[in-house]
Amino acid sequence: MKVMRTYLDCFPCFLRQVVIALSQVPVDESLRVDILKETLEDIRMTDTSKTPAHTTTHIHRRIRRLLGCDPFKEIKQRYNRKALTLYPRLKSLVEESPDPLWTASRLAIAGNVIDFGIYTEVDIEAEVERSLEKEIVWDDYADFRAAVGRTEEVLYLVDNAGEIVFDRILIETLLDRGKRVTAVVKGGPVINDSTAEDAVEAGLHKICGVRDNGSDAIGTILEWCSEEFRGLFHGADLVVSKGQGNFETLMNVEKDIFFLFQAKCNVVSGFLGVENGAMLLVEGGRLKGIGSSPSSAG
């Protein structure tokens, strides 16, 4: 299997992420420029055999350290609240659906649009409509439903704040089917990824077990996670993995795993041979043999 690594096209995006992060906080532009210049050192140190998530993790650590705060704290709360106002309607959509698991999976993929590593603003409502109407380009839903049917336990790796409310709905759908679910959040803040605090805001702690992975990395870089989490992960019967970062970092782990996400950049889209913005429900095992180099990285 081809491994996701860092391509030439990832580099401008590293700086775009820096600009997005620095634009979240009301500080002088001169301070922003100074911090951006310091992150060039993380970019220079990029090991292109690793995933882009490795570099962006270092970048976001440096930004938080130099700002002395988590720049995404406010926007995470805002999107949690916004998503919670949508919760009743989303819940009805699932309850009234002839196939609640199908609808809840689609909504979970729709929620993945809330990603401030990539976007500067998102229209959640429009995204919900799109997810229910548009074809999912890579759709292993039949296998997902079968795998859920076979398993008793699901390890659910959530991705972003706001999106976590959409995850709650899929998790509730799994619970309704008698599954035990453990939701996994980040061990510390990074971009707008969900932490324990967001799990509480989304009400996840009231419906299922919530663990953190002991890491502040983008995605799930297993060697940087806690031993406790690694045990949980390797012992899990079935893993639901949300978001592009988790896809990048877990795509070649040997595991019963389904990736629910949107392809948000040319590199990942090119790698998978899909359009940018494509919604995907991918069984990990199906990834063997795929993975072409993005064109400009040739």
CB 38 to a copy of itself: min, Å: 9
Q: Are 22 and 63 in contact (CB under 8 A)?
A: yes
> Which is nearest to 126 in space by CA: 115, 135, 113, 136?
113
- Among residues 13, 199, 278, 280, the one that binds a copy of itself under rule CB under 8 A: 13
Q: How many helices (H) does the chain have, and how many strands (E)?
A: 12, 7
Using CB under 8 A, count the residues that bind a copy of itself: 29
d(CA 156, CA 135): 24
| Other residues' Cβ atoms within 10 Å of the Cβ of residue 114 | 26
d(CA 289, CA 53): 22
3-state secondary structure at position 282: strand
Please provide the DSSP assignment of 169-211 as one string. Answer: HHHHHHHHTT-EEEEEEBSS--TTB-BHHHHHHTTGGGTSEEE
Give the binding range for a copy of itself (CB under 8 A) out of 18-26, 176-184, 197-205, 269-277: 18-26
Residues 152-191 that bind a copy of itself (CB under 8 A): none
Q: Decide whether 3 or 33 has the Cβ nearer to a copy of itself.
A: 33
43 binds a copy of itself (CB under 8 A): yes
122 binds a copy of itself (CB under 8 A): no
Residues 268-297, mask of contacts with a copy of itself (x by CB under 8 A): ----------------------------xx
29 binds a copy of itself (CB under 8 A): yes
Q: Decide whether 252 or 266 has the Cβ nearer to a copy of itself.
A: 266
- Among residues 114, 166, 211, 298, the one that binds a copy of itself under rule CB under 8 A: 298
| Other residues' Cβ atoms within 10 Å of the Cβ of residue 96 | 9
121 binds a copy of itself (CB under 8 A): no
- Among residues 1, 3, 37, 123, the one that binds a copy of itself under rule CB under 8 A: 37
Sign of the dihedral defined by the CA atoms of residues 145, 151, 152, 157, in that order: negative
d(CA 153, CA 148): 9
CB 264 to a copy of itself: min, Å: 15
116 binds a copy of itself (CB under 8 A): no
Residue showing tokens 């359009």: 275
Locate 184 and state its tokens: 């996994």
51 binds a copy of itself (CB under 8 A): no
32 binds a copy of itself (CB under 8 A): yes
CB 13 to a copy of itself: min, Å: 7
Q: Decide whether 36 or 207 has the Cβ nearer to a copy of itself.
A: 36
Give the list of residues 6+ apart from residue 273 with CB closer than 8 angstroms, or none.
290, 292
63 binds a copy of itself (CB under 8 A): no
| Interface positions with a copy of itself (CB under 8 A) | 7-9, 11-16, 18-19, 22-23, 26, 29-30, 32-33, 36-37, 40, 43-44, 46, 48, 120, 296-298
